[in-house]
Amino acid sequence: MLITLYSTEGCHLCEQAYSLLVQAGVRARVQVVDIAFDDALFSRYGVTIPVLSILNPDSDSNSPELGWPFDANELAIWLNNNGIN
């Protein structure tokens, strides 16, 4: 499963979220998507980034999203609840 981090350049909160993903040991599964280059994504996430989402290749639907603020414990629970250990 692929974890999407909706982000944008210069976002210090996004950098903190990415750091938590690295600490959780899932960096290889993370795809960072810059919302600045997509009007629909910017409209949806412009004031709420960073936001995490998990795309399951066996399904067309995304998991519930995890929006900031979150800490390492909340991230671990969310990852576990979505089948990423």
- CATH number of the structural domain spanning residue 54: 3.40.30.10
pTM of the predicted structure, to 2 decimals = 0.90
> Per-residue pLDDT for the chain (85 aa), expressed as one digit of tens each?
799 999 999 999 999 999 999 999 999 999 999 999 999 999 999 999 999 999 866 666 657 899 999 999 999 999 999 999 7
Task: For the beta carbon of residue 41, count every other beta carbon within 10 angstroms.
Answer: 17
**Radius of gyration of the chain from its Cα atoms, rounded to whole angstroms:** 12
Alpha-carbon distance of 7 to 48, in angstroms, equals 9
- The domain of 9 spans 2-82
Domains: count for the chain? 1
